[in-house]
Amino acid sequence: MSMTDPIADMLTRIRNACGSKHRRVDMPVSKMKTEVARILKENDFIQDYATVEAEDGKTVLRVRLKYAAGGQPIIRALQRVSTPGLRKYVGVADVPRVRNGLGIAILSTSKGLMSDREARQARTGGELLALVW
């Protein structure tokens, strides 16, 4: 069975794992999911990520989640903005500031996936994939 929105599936898996206080979450691997995990790691929302071989022989993306001292998850919310049914594009002047700089927006630009800060520095807009805070 094919999946229509693998990025939304990834964000939902991370959201559910944070809600259940899991240490890690596994998902099918793709280049875009690996790039999203890289952006989350660079902005200190997750501890680490790696591609590993599962028991059934398939390659999976393993994301290690990050929690604060009191056991609260660092990721408070993950919101998918652009969907396959309704794409959302923003210009460089319209790149959102998430929670006044406490969160990040993940954009797919012509120069690759990047956070909102990187997109503003590179003076480029693109498809607004997700908001994380």
Per-residue pLDDT of the chain (133 residues; tens, 9 = 90+): 578 999 999 999 999 999 999 999 999 999 999 999 999 999 999 999 999 998 899 999 999 999 999 999 999 999 999 999 999 999 999 999 999 999 999 999 999 999 999 999 999 999 999 999 9
Cα gap 5→83, rounded to integer Å: 7
How many CB atoms within 10 Å of residue 106?
28
Cα gap 59→54, rounded to integer Å: 6
> What residue segments make up the domains of the chain, in order of their start?
6-132
Global confidence as pTM: 0.95
- What dotted CATH number matches 6-132? 3.30.1490.10
The pair of three-digit structure tokens given for residue 7, joined into one six-digit string: 């990025």
Cα gap 37→49, rounded to integer Å: 7
